[in-house]
Amino acid sequence: MVLLEELIRQEKDVFFRLFYDPVHEIFRAHWLGTLTQEELQLAAHKGLDQLHKYDSVTFLHDHLLCLTNWQDICTWMRVMWTPKNISSSLRYFAHLVSPEQYDGSPVLHDMVHGSVCQLHKDETVAIQWLNNVSNKALV
């Protein structure tokens, strides 16, 4: 994986890392610790700047080490961030959450601004889903 962006607080705590996985052609965002709204927005905008450099339709958000309520993150991303990325080729999002956060339903929101998003508790299943939908998108 290629590290594209890493954001660090003044206390030297990393709160966001963005990778590109060339094997699966997936962007991977790792959200770490407790995030403020400002940190969330900074990370999302910095990440968006990187997304335009690659031709990928899939994105994996890893919330496993995030202590901030992931529903708040997803709401902001769906309302504010997703409409801004529509000019890129991104269309499919998987959110990796802990089993405690997972309610059993894979669909978080469907067809929001032309994108599809699912919740997953297993990274392998999330990557398989992203690969499957991206292959269908190319047909």
- Domain 2-138 is in which class? alpha beta
pTM: 0.80
**What spatial distance separates the first Cα and last Cα of the chain, rounded to whole Å?**
26
- DSSP-assigned states of every residue in 86-100: TTSS--EEEEE--TT
pLDDT in tens, the chain (139 residues): 999 999 999 878 999 999 999 888 889 999 999 888 889 889 888 887 787 777 777 889 898 888 877 666 667 777 777 666 655 567 788 888 876 666 655 555 444 455 677 888 889 999 999 988 877 655 4
Q: How far is CA 25 from the centre of its chain?
A: 13
Residue ranges of the domains in the chain?
A: 2-138
Compute φ and ψ for 65, nearest 5 degrees.
Answer: -105, 15
Kind plus residue range of the DSSP H or E element containing 76? helix 70-76
